[in-house]
Amino acid sequence: MSDDKPTTPPEETPTAEEKAPEQATAPEAEEKQEKQPLSDEEKAAKIAEAKAKAAARKAAEEAEPKDPWEEKPVPPAHEDASDDPDAVALGGEIPGVVLAADRFAGEVTLSVPADRIVDVCRFLKHDCDYKFLVDLTAVDWPEREQGRFDVIYWMHRFNDSKRLRLHAIVADEEPIQSVTEVWKTANWMEREVYDLFGIVFENHPGLERILTWEGFNGHPLRKDFPVEGIDTGAAIYPDVYPPGGGPPVEEADEEEGGAV
Amino acid sequence: MTSPDRPLFDVEEMEINFGPQHPATHGVLRVKMKLDGEKIMEAKPIIGYLHRGTEKLFETMDFPQCIPHTDRMDYVAAATNNQGFCVTMEKLLGITIPPRAAYIRMILAELQRLASHLVWLATHAVDIGAITPFFYTFRERDAILDLFEEYCGARLTLNTMKIGGVPFELPDGWLDRCSELVDSFNGHIEEYENLLTENRIWKQRTIDIGVVSAEEAIEWGLTGPPLRGSGVKWDIRKIFPYDRYDEIDFEIPIGKKGDTYDRYLVRMEEMRQSVRILRQCLDRLPDGPHMAKVPKVLRVKEAGMVYGAVEAPKGELGYFIVATEKATSPYRCRVRPPSFINLQMLPAMVEGHLIADLVAVIGTLDIVLGEIDR
């Protein structure tokens, strides 16, 4: 290859090592050649030569595999996970409860109906040994028809270090049963979901706001809650600020010289 | 003055607030307590004073822009926060990072673990009444922060990892200086242990205080040193190895009784193990690039949700990221903060103890309010 270097300058551009320019250099070479008074035969010969070189380089690349961090990322893909032993066990215990089973990036997600969530969790804890609830959270999809919120349960089994995710769809203003009697740790996680999404957990021992204060208007992690926040003055000081009113934000900024 | 049917003192239960502005609460934690004399009958932690809506902010930002915001959660262990986010994003995007980047990350994360445990030891000891360890531990912590400063320019909010690797190559001579610190560190741990481990007052204040059984710890979702102190062998670095922890040889220290003293011993041993990990990383640091070849704009291919976790100094720090198809920013990014879930156990641990033990228990849980409130 190094012998050909001076004769074929367009091939040896600094970007020639990357993959994408391979296609780009060939038309470029054609253009340059067109400017010179070359006969068709010569042109064809040069193109053929460039193509052969490109093919040779590609073959060399394939023969010598690159390290994974030099390659393009390989994103995970969705797979069916209905053969997962826990999905099978759960479906056997409570027929029809597994609505969908999905494997993504090595993580199994089972979709279950929201009204059976306590039965499902109790079965998974006591019979499938998922003793540890790692996380409980929610996702807001305001446009979705089946129901607005996903409630997500993420649990861990100690014997074989396997993790399982449950996914239940809850409509707006619709409650879901609390799993605090199954795992005590769900207490604060459910309070957080209630606070930030406004999903009500029935039979929760003390469903109060946890990160925002009592009297706060709205649920901040809902998609329709503005990122810049809302004026909650009326809710905190009903005597000072009339409902729906409160001090305009711009004026307050000016008074304090924008130091907020 | 006193009549026979009325006692000398008012014996009613008293309600008292501990915090939110109190040096022993390690931030803006408020504990509302019902007291019978000095005995705690009921304790209720009230949090949220430092809520900044980090999870909401994540939704408005591109993936790389989220990383500086992770620093502000557990602000005494910023590097592990970065690591958690980057590991999760690499899982979602399918990026493999070069070995050198993984080793640099492990070095930074273990240094950060040492720094975080030093802050824990200093504040825990001061809360209980031993002020000397504070000066010793902050001396070593400063040396660690100097190394961070030399590497990335910041001492606390490091922002020192990128999706696909680490942003910089190590500066000249950094490895030697790091090596020097690592070699001297076991001696320093001995210094602290000489002050505390066999100290009679220290033992009286910590043994049998805040006892948690293994079953309770699992039921309440404890992770990190509080779970290991109760005798459960659990470490994310072992069960779901990220970066290159599977190539490293180290032990998981566990306690027996699950009291404050056991958790102290577990953390001290963890520091020794961190030194061991650091020694191996420094000896084996491979050559090569410090960044994988990642596209300039990070774009998710398929819609999906992933959860990635790292072993932060406080416990399992998890990121749960939901992304839509072709997205460049998270649709939802949930952080599973270890301190938040560990703090939930506080009432069960202190009820029936004296008010002074509350301080010991808050110290032993090693909470950071920036992470609890997010």
Residues of chain B found within 8 Å of residue A212, distances taken between Cβ atoms: 48, 51
Residue A143 binned pLDDT confidence (cut-offs 50, 70, 90): confident
Contact B344 A161 (CB under 8 A): no
Identify the pLDDT of residue A257.
Answer: 44
CATH of the domain at B217: 1.10.645.10
In Å, how far is A244's CA from the nearest CA of chain B?
A: 23
Are A53 and A99 part of one and the same domain?
Answer: no
- Which pLDDT tens digit goes with each residue over A73-118? 888 888 888 888 888 888 888 888 888 888 888 889 999 998 889 9
Nearest C-alpha in B relative to A229: B53
In Å, how far is A106's CA from the nearest CA of chain B?
A: 9
Are A29 and A139 part of one and the same domain?
Answer: no
pTM of the model: 0.81
- Whether B103 is in a domain gets the answer yes
Contact B332 A75 (CB under 8 A): no
CB of A222 within 8 Å of any CB in chain B?
A: no
- Whether A216 is in a domain gets the answer no
Q: How far is CA B46 from CA B1, B23, B265, B271, B374, in A?
A: 40, 16, 29, 31, 14
Average pLDDT over residues B221-232: 90
- Which pLDDT tens digit goes with each residue over B49-100? 888 889 999 999 999 999 999 998 888 889 999 999 999 999 998 888 999 9
Strands A176-177 and A162-170: unpaired
Does A5 score more than 50 pLDDT?
no
Identify the domain containing residue B358 by its residue range: 53-159+170-286+294-373
Are A9 and A121 part of one and the same domain?
Answer: no
Contact B94 A76 (CB under 8 A): yes
Identify the pLDDT of residue A55.
Answer: 82
In Å, how far is A76's CA from the nearest CA of chain B?
A: 6
Does B27 score more than 90 pLDDT?
no
Domain endpoint, select from A211, A229, A245 = A211
Are A58 and A103 part of one and the same domain?
Answer: no
- Whether A224 is in a domain gets the answer no
Does A146 score more than 90 pLDDT?
no
Higher pLDDT, A124 or A28: A124
- Whether A132 is in a domain gets the answer yes
In Å, how far is B195's CA from the nearest CA of chain A?
A: 36
Contact A154 B320 (CB under 8 A): yes
Residue A258 binned pLDDT confidence (cut-offs 50, 70, 90): very low
Q: How far is CA B112 from CA A30, A113, B312, B347, B374, in A?
A: 56, 43, 9, 29, 20
- Which pLDDT tens digit goes with each residue over B109-141? 999 999 999 999 999 988 888 888 889 999 999
Contact A211 B51 (CB under 8 A): yes
Arithmetic mean of pLDDT over chain B = 88
Total domain count for chain B? 1
CB of A18 within 8 Å of any CB in chain B?
A: no
Average pLDDT over residues B199-203: 88
Domain endpoint, select from A191, A211, A231 = A211
- Whether B34 is in a domain gets the answer no
In Å, how far is B8's CA from the nearest CA of chain A?
A: 37
- Which pLDDT tens digit goes with each residue over A48-77? 888 888 887 777 766 677 787 777 788 888
Identify the pLDDT of residue B270.
Answer: 92
Identify the pLDDT of residue A19.
Answer: 45
Are A34 and A124 part of one and the same domain?
Answer: no
Are A55 and A99 part of one and the same domain?
Answer: no
Residues of chain A found within 8 Å of residue B60, distances taken between Cβ atoms: 227
* B30, B47, B51: best to mutate for the A interface, most A CBs within 10 A: B51
Residues of chain B found within 8 Å of residue A188, distances taken between Cβ atoms: 340-341, 344
Q: Which of B98, B159, B9 is nearest to B288 (CA)?
A: B98
Identify the domain containing residue A52 by its residue range: 2-63
- Which pLDDT tens digit goes with each residue over A185-244? 999 999 999 989 989 998 889 888 888 877 777 788 888 888 887 766 555 555 655 555
CATH of the domain at A150: 3.30.460.80
Contact A139 B332 (CB under 8 A): yes
- Which pLDDT tens digit goes with each residue over B95-110? 889 999 999 999 999 9
Identify the pLDDT of residue A239.
Answer: 61
Residue A35 binned pLDDT confidence (cut-offs 50, 70, 90): low
Identify the pLDDT of residue A232.
Answer: 64
CB of A230 within 8 Å of any CB in chain B?
A: no
Are A117 and A31 part of one and the same domain?
Answer: no
CB of A78 within 8 Å of any CB in chain B?
A: yes
Does B246 score more than 70 pLDDT?
yes
